[in-house]
Amino acid sequence: MKNFTLIVFLMISNVLFSQKIVFKGSSWNWPPTSNWSSDLTEAGNDYFGTYTSSTSQTKISISNGKSDKTRVEVRKDDDWPPNLILQIKCTNRSKVDSGGKNFQTITDNDAFFLTTDNGNQTDIPLQYSINGISVLLPVKDYTTTIWFTVSDD
């Protein structure tokens, strides 16, 4: 009976004290500009190499059920070549307390992204940048999953 009570208590406490993050936005398909073919003007040329999404490609809302600071970490999960670099930044500084100001490379490991000064923030706009796009990349669909980890700061 003791084991059952402990498991139920842990399940209830995780539900009561968990954080919530909500995403709004659309997928970002390359080419991101309508006139991308003009990037290659002569044989032997390469793409410019850096492309950015709209300033609010994704909007996230964070709720930790309290008014405490919230820490957000970011990582990605993909099988991209190492020269293809994905970056992220927050485009509305009034929504965050620290971090997120400049483009930051998203790696395969959790890394600090930003903190909010209030545990309940809505519609934090995010922008992405991708570097290393080249005609030398193997032809295939490149996709990634971006993970945000939310915790009390």
User: Using CA atoms, how far apart are residues 153 and 68, in angstroms rounded to an integer?
Assistant: 8
**What is the distance between the alpha carbons of residues 132 and 120, in angstroms, rounded to a whole number?**
36
Tell me if 19 sits within 8 A of 63, measured CB to CB.
Answer: yes
Residue with tokens 């307390």: 97
Q: Is residue 74 part of a domain?
A: yes
| Whether residue 12 has pLDDT greater than 60 | no
- pLDDT reported for residue 56: 87
In a domain, 3, yes or no: no
87: pLDDT confidence band, cut at 50, 70 and 90? very high
Contact call for residues 123 and 59 (beta carbons, < 8 A) = yes
Instruction: Answer yes or no: is 127 within a domain.
Output: yes
Is pLDDT of 5 > 60?
no
Residue 118 has pLDDT above 80, yes or no: no
Whether the predicted pLDDT of 135 surpasses 80: no
Domain of residue 129 covers 19-28+45-152
pTM of the model: 0.75
Residue 126 falls within a domain, yes or no? Answer: yes
Q: What is the tally of structural domains in the chain? A: 1
Question: Would you say residue 59 lies in a domain?
Answer: yes
87 conformational bin, left if phi > 0, alpha if psi -120 to 50, beta if neither: beta
8 within a domain of the structure (yes/no): no
- Does residue 110 lie within any of the structural domains? yes
Instruction: Name the percent of the chain lying above pLDDT 70.
Output: 64
What mean pLDDT value characterizes the chain? 74
Q: With respect to residue 10, please indicate whether it lies within any of the assigned structural domains.
A: no
Work out the average pLDDT over 118-139: 84
CATH of the domain at 127: 2.60.40
The better pLDDT of the pair 12, 100 is held by: 100
Tell me the C-alpha to C-alpha distance, in Å, between residue 25 and each of 33, 86, 126.
Answer: 17, 17, 10
Q: Which residues pair with 130 in a beta bridge?
A: 51, 86
Backbone φ and ψ for 126, nearest 5 degrees, come out as -120, 145
pLDDT at 137: 81
